[in-house]
Amino acid sequence: MLNQLDGHTILIGLMAYPIRHSMSPTMHNHAFDKLGLNFAYLAFEITNDGLPDAINAIRTLDMRGSNISMPNKQKVIPLLDKLDPATEMIGAVNTVVNDHGVLTGYTTDGIGMIKSLDDEGIDIRGKKMTLAGAGGAGTAIAIQCALDGVKEISIFNRDDEFLAQAQRNVDLINEKTDCKATLHHLEDQDDFKKEIDSAFIYADATSVGMNPLEGQTLVSDPSWLRKDLVVFDTVYAPRTTKLMEVAEEAGVEHVFNGLGMMLEQGAAAFKLWTGEDMPVDYIRHILF
């Protein structure tokens, strides 16, 4: 353990299964240590079956909170007392905060994506985004970007079990935000090309590009990508995805993987629990 644990140490959890591979314990414990905060972050293997007891333990043990990951991100919702408004729309939770026994659920993935672009001097507010994917990451990104001032989002999904979620995201955004969202089908390649061409940013929030789909990309023709387009891939393992290679071949100046998003979603949770800013550059250096 890095920081000095004692009778005052405050516990934060991570409840998911499988979870032993996660970088979050290293991230948060190094950040606590760096800032001299008397917190400890531990991973717990929790499936849906164990979730009610585990969530209640946050209250019983007076933990400050927990991260929540698969398969518990949706199942946790009825076990909490409150959801923040964006999280209510997203319909999934990755962070729980315990305020004297009152548990509130948040989702920091979309916040992390926007902040990671802000960190690079890229402001997507008032602009058009073309987004592939409507799973956990795609939904958090779409809703948060719409709430935070992105003007227009064209959401693409293939015809699989996530297409209905894509439709739900579009309907919710149009109903509850000032952003204009439209649903598109990945199978319509002419439409996909056209929507990328008219966007300020193309964001890929699908699993394409990471194991077992490593080396694959939804956009394989560099001529689809303007040099002044921003290209963002949520995948961060591998560090350079096939989409990023195609973008670099096209001469795109601003090309990002999901590393910054991963760090900033953690930083947003860290802030909710501790009130402090995570030393993101220091943590980036430790983790990578």
Q: What are the C-alpha distances in Å from 137 to residues 35, 140, 188?
A: 29, 5, 22
Instruction: Please report whether residue 207 would count as binding ligand NAD according to CB under 6 A.
Output: yes
Give the residue with the Cβ less far from ligand NAD, 43 or 134: 134
Instruction: Please report whether residue 91 would count as binding ligand NAD according to CB under 6 A.
Output: no
Instruction: Please report whether residue 135 would count as binding ligand NAD according to CB under 6 A.
Output: yes
Parallel/antiparallel/unpaired status of strands 95-99 and 65-68? antiparallel
Helices (H), the chain: 24-35, 51-60, 85-90, 109-119, 136-147, 163-176, 189-197, 242-249, 259-274, 280-287
Instruction: Please report whether residue 262 would count as binding ligand NAD according to CB under 6 A.
Output: yes
By CB under 6 A, how many residues form the interface with ligand NAD?
A: 26
Give the residue with the Cβ less far from ligand NAD, 186 or 278: 186
Q: Six-digit token pair at 60?
A: 């019983």
- DSSP line for 233-285: ES--SSSS-HHHHHHHHTT-SEEE-SHHHHHHHHHHHHHHHHSS---HHHHHH
Asked if the bond preceding 71 is cis, omega within 30° of 0, the reply is yes
d(CA 140, CA 144): 6
Give the residue with the Cβ less far from ligand NAD, 9 or 26: 26
Give the residue with the Cβ less far from ligand NAD, 104 or 234: 234
Instruction: Please report whether residue 261 would count as binding ligand NAD according to CB under 6 A.
Output: yes
d(CA 4, CA 145): 39
Instruction: Please report whether residue 208 would count as binding ligand NAD according to CB under 6 A.
Output: yes
Residue 73 designated active-site: yes
**Nearest residue (beta carbon) to ligand NAD:** 135
Instruction: Please report whether residue 109 would count as binding ligand NAD according to CB under 6 A.
Output: yes
Give which of 254, 199, 193 is closest to 220, Cα–Cα.
193
Report 177-206 residues binding ligand NAD (CB under 6 A): 186, 205-206
Instruction: Please report whether residue 138 would count as binding ligand NAD according to CB under 6 A.
Output: yes
Give the residue with the Cβ less far from ligand NAD, 252 or 267: 267
In angstroms, what is the minimal distance from the CB of 60 to ligand NAD? 30
The residue ranges that bind ligand NAD (CB under 6 A) are 109, 112, 133-138, 157-158, 160, 162, 186, 205-208, 210, 213, 234-236, 258, 261-262, 265
